[in-house]
Structure 1
């Protein structure tokens, strides 16, 4: 059994898909820099725009570079990633909630 036969089932990207992912990543990064450096937007609009661009950039990296998709061979990777995202969200939201409550209780005294 050769070393290459072990990875035959895994879907590795082609040069074209890597180039598409790279171009999308560069365009999204340039758009983020332009949004910040342009300065013509309200603060809230710029933050929402940066958030949207960041989420799209994450999806581009997951699809084109980490090859995560809905195929059955990727099911465990997607499940592990989803669990990680859920854990991080619980940790961040819980921390913000606790810090908000601490601030509110300390300010009332």
Structure 2
């Protein structure tokens, strides 16, 4: 118990992070940004492979941000943060896959462009 009658709670210290945790998160985020930037600028891989590598780095960076900056773990808020995370992941997956599906089918099913001079 502290002088004010409140317990000192180590859980609050863990849930808000530490300076070391923020620096680790910052370093990981910087590296996970710099590598895809380098890949785009130098193009050492084919375009499709570069796109997949960038998406993988983006997914890893999302996890880094959730752990080091949003402090999401199994213990936080009695597990509700994990439920919110799962809901968000499902919604984002539906939105992204639906968008990609629509764009693919629009591209595949579009009428070929015709030269307007040939139409008259």
TM-score, with length taken from structure 1: 0.76
CA root-mean-square deviation: 2.9
| SS of the residue 1:11 aligns to | helix
Q: 5+ residue gaps in structure 2?
A: 112-120
From 32, 39, 43, give the equivalent of 2:43.
39
Corresponding residue of 1:58:
62
Counterpart contact for 1:68–1:74, Cα < 8 Å? no
Bigger Rg, which one: 2
Note the C-alpha offset of 1:47: 0.6
4+ residue runs of structure 1 moved beyond 3 angstroms? Answer: 7-10, 94-107
Q: 5+ residue gaps in structure 1?
A: none
Cα deviations across residues 45-101 of structure 1 (Å, max 9, x unaligned)? 101110111001000000000001122635111101211221232233334445555
Q: Distance in 1 between matches of 2:13 and 2:33?
A: 33
* CA separation of 1:10 and 1:18: change in aligned 2, threshold 3 A: closer
Counterpart contact for 2:17–2:68, Cα < 8 Å? yes
